Each structure stands twice: as structure tokens, then as C-alpha cells.
Amino acid sequence: MSMSRRDFLKGAGTGAVVATAVGVDTAPVEGAARELKTKGAREVPSLCYYCAVGCGIVASVADGKVVAIQGDPEHPINRGALCSKAQAYIQVLDHPKRLTKVLYRPPGATEWQEKPLDWAMDQIAQRIKATRDATFRETEDGVTVNRAEGIAALGSAVITNEECYLLAKAMRGLGVVWLEHQARV
């Protein structure tokens, strides 16, 4: 029996590999399984951007939506495997509870308010400037340090490596020294 690594991993989920090896006709089983999610879907190779490992994924796309995500068995880094974060990747793209609007809860309030994105950006910029102005330390024990000690930055695992790089650059430019990443918390 000739079978590629990719065919093997595809079939493993349904037990089709074992069944085929012992001479059982697996076509009906494979057909039913595929219909669950990926019938008629187009397979698009891509990358998981959650961390710097850079695992390969295959996204199944139907009617313009990603309907399933699996590890790319032909990718040299992960060889078909995905960690738990990437297993839940599809929820980032399409989940009924995904937030698509800015929500703001003023100090002391119990309810969230919808706000325009431009308003939120202005608020963030104003508050960063006010905090930096109020807490910036230029020297310590006679040594120039130029630290914005009242601000900390926490990188997220759902921003890309490039975004992490830009975030770190921006924070260093402001004098922020408390830089962390979700993956280390």
C-alpha cells in the first residue's frame, strides 16, 4: 500500500488507515467523516501566528469562511501537529462571542458602553501621554535612566511576531521598561 505522510494523518482521524491496511473498504466512513466539516472546502496552506515557532496549518475554506483548521503534515516544523492554542485558532476567526466593537466601562460603572474605534484610540493616546508625563524618571542616583515607570506593556499571543516587534519598539521609544509577553505569564 502506497501512502504519503499527509494521507496517513488525514486518514488517522477516522481510523481509515488501519482499516485500509487490513483490507476493509473505508470509502463510506471517510466520506461521512469529511462531510462533517470540509465537504467541498478548499484547502489553503498557511501559518499559525500565535508564536515564533511558525507551525504550518491547512485551513479548509468553504463559502468564504474557514470551516476547519489542521496542522500541515508536510510542514517541516510541526509535521501535522498543533498545540492547544492553534487547535482553538478557528474561534479567533469566527466565533459568535467574538467582539467586533469597542466596549468601554467608565470608572465606577457596571455596564459596558459601545464606543467608536477612533474614540478609543484617542483615549489610549491621551492616557499614555498623561501617565508618562506624570511618572517619567530622567535620572536615578545621578545616572540618566529616562524610564517611563508608570506604564507596563503585555504582549498578546494573538498578535503576530511583526506586531510584537513594533509594540516593543514603540514601548522602548516611550521609555517603558516593563515589557512582558502572555506566553511567559
Kindly list the residues in this chain that would bind ligand SF4 in the complex (CB under 6 A).
48, 50-51, 53-55, 78, 82-83, 85-86
Q: Report the relative pairing of strands 178-181 and 152-155 from DSSP bridges.
A: parallel
Cα distance between residue 5 and residue 105, in whole Å: 51
Cα distance between residue 131 and residue 149, in whole Å: 9
Closest Cα to residue 176, out of 151, 145, 144?
A: 151
Taking the least distance from each CB to ligand SF4, the nearer of 58 and 174 is 58
Least distance CB 91 / ligand SF4 (angstroms) = 14
Least distance CB 8 / ligand SF4 (angstroms) = 20
Least distance CB 160 / ligand SF4 (angstroms) = 11
Taking the least distance from each CB to ligand SF4, the nearer of 50 and 147 is 50
Identify whether the C-beta of residue 1 lies closer than 8 Å to the C-beta of residue 20: yes
